[in-house]
Structure 1
Amino acid sequence: MSFEKVTIAAQVDAPPETVWTAWTTPDHITRWNFASDDWCCPSASVDLRPGGAYSARMEARDGSFGFDFDATYQEVVPHEKASFRLEDGRVAETTFTPVDGGTQVVTVFDAEAQHSVDMQREGWQAILNNFKKHAESL
């Protein structure tokens, strides 16, 4: 099956080591992994190795809806790259590139067919923007 590739990016004013820790540590993931303030990420787990599991619970704060975002890591290069395959076969890869005292974070993900590509891009970008804010606060 072929998926449309979507790219999002943010320049984070923090070194790659800090950015990597914020991206890959469950305690940090639960503080940024949601697209808007009416959502939350109450739990996350990370087995950061090829073949290891990634899981994040995403829920509306009012309890009206929630889902588990589950994947298996495909490639892990500390401080540089992490990719995983979702349960439906889609892939997401995030790279971390040092730039001018900060880190350029770029995610390329396969869009799913249920929602518009624009809606998915906006949602994933909003999550990345939350990540940027969190990582810069460390």
Structure 2
Amino acid sequence: MHRNPSDAEIREILQAAKNIAVVGLSDKPHRTSHRIARFLQSAGYRVLPVNPNLSGPVLGEEPYASLREIEEEIDIVDVFRRSEFVGPVAEDAVAAGAKVLWMQLGVINEAAARYAAERGLTVVMDRCIKVDHASLVG
């Protein structure tokens, strides 16, 4: 069973990160993924939208259909997909050389967490990056 990093480790992750790929980012401002990505931008992170259904910029950034298309360093992959769809995201995160796989609150996939962790990624599961940033970084 997956065990999340400690609060101190999560604080370090958030303080060190610069680029956050948001998988499942919506271009609709009322969607949770959009609101959290906008918050992450306001906190100083570069948000890289990942969603094959997007056709134009979201939050001022060109979208990618897949993590594998991103050529720059990815510090955190923030996942807004249903739990059963996280396996391929974990595979793409590993292939893209990401450092952290972060499954948002309510997203739980033990097999994907194990896969990513066994290949060197830090895995955070079933936690909200915005809540953690507010409480641990400020």
More helix by share: 2
Greater length-normalized contact order (CA 8 Å, ≥ 6 residues apart): 1
Q: Same fold (TM over 0.5)?
A: no
Range into which the TM-score falls when normalised by the shorter chain: 0.3 to 0.5
TM-score, with structure 1 as normaliser: 0.32
As a proportion of its length, which structure holds more strand?
1
From the CA coordinates, give the structure whose radius of gyration is larger. 1
